Amino acid sequence: MKATVFEAGEERRPSLLPAARPRYLLCEPRYFAVVDELNPWMDRSVQPSPDCVAAEWTGLVRTVESLGADVDVMRGVSGLPDLVFTRDACIPLDGSYVRARFRCPERRAEADHVAAWLRRHGREPADLEPAQDAYLEGGDVCVFGPHVLAGWGFRSSRAGHAALADRLDVTVHSLRLVDPRFYHLDMCVCPLDGRHALVAPEMLDRAARRLLSDLVPEPIELCRAEALSFCANAIVVDGCVVMSQCPPRLRHVLAEHGFEVRCAPVAEFRKAGGAVSCLTLPLNRSTRPAA
């Protein structure tokens, strides 16, 4: 089924597909608005256009599907305008699903709704073990090859990283974020394949930059303007980088490294501090090599 469900208000149920095929969960944006000011991008006096929101979200769905990925859709929930940023509410990894623990009270119910969607579709999400200051949001976790990377400093905590490592029995590499505009790791780091990653080094502390230089053989560094354009808040589907916009320099550099770029503009969602990565929860993300 290729038609979106934003107009119909019905959930799209997952189909049986090979495990290696990318699959994302998105939430219809009928209730999306800037209600709170939880990050430096949010301003209640600057509201997104509902018509533009619908067009951008539908365009993102069609772009992701056109690249061969599967898209599942959950209903929006009145009173949860940021539920559209499904990435934040859950940490999927190697067949396990861990509920996020939000620092901001305004967003905590989002984890409940994404967990309920997972249960309805045969997946049982796990909770982090309770610990003081153990906050962890999905936007702060990414996978580079066999490595689990996690950001901290604004929304997530190192205690949250430790809780994730205990829950999934994995090693978590902690990276400290230093710019409040880049409050999640997926705003300044985007793994592309087993050798390359987009990195905005100015948004990370010295230890984090050093760690990434050890783990990533060929980082592609973003300049400040590219980072501020949300270029790292992207996903990769079959070697194609999907981002909201791509300046000419970066497009050229990515092409030199063998990557195609597909732009799916989501400027209205940037008014709440989110872009392509934030809007897409990768349901079958893995640290294991493809069979």
Catalytic site positions: 184, 278
DSSP-based helix, strand, coil % in the chain, nearest 5: 30, 20, 45
Number of neighbours of residue 221 by Cβ within 10 angstroms:
15
Tell me which residue of 51, 285, 13, 14 sits closest to 168, measured CA to CA.
Answer: 285
Alpha carbons 260 and 240: distance in angstroms, whole number: 5
The three-class DSSP label of residue 123 is: coil
- DSSP-assigned letter for residue 21: S
- DSSP-assigned letter for residue 158: H
Q: Phi then psi for 13, rounded to 5 degrees?
A: -90, 145
Both structure tokens of 95? 């067949």
Both structure tokens of 16? 């049986």
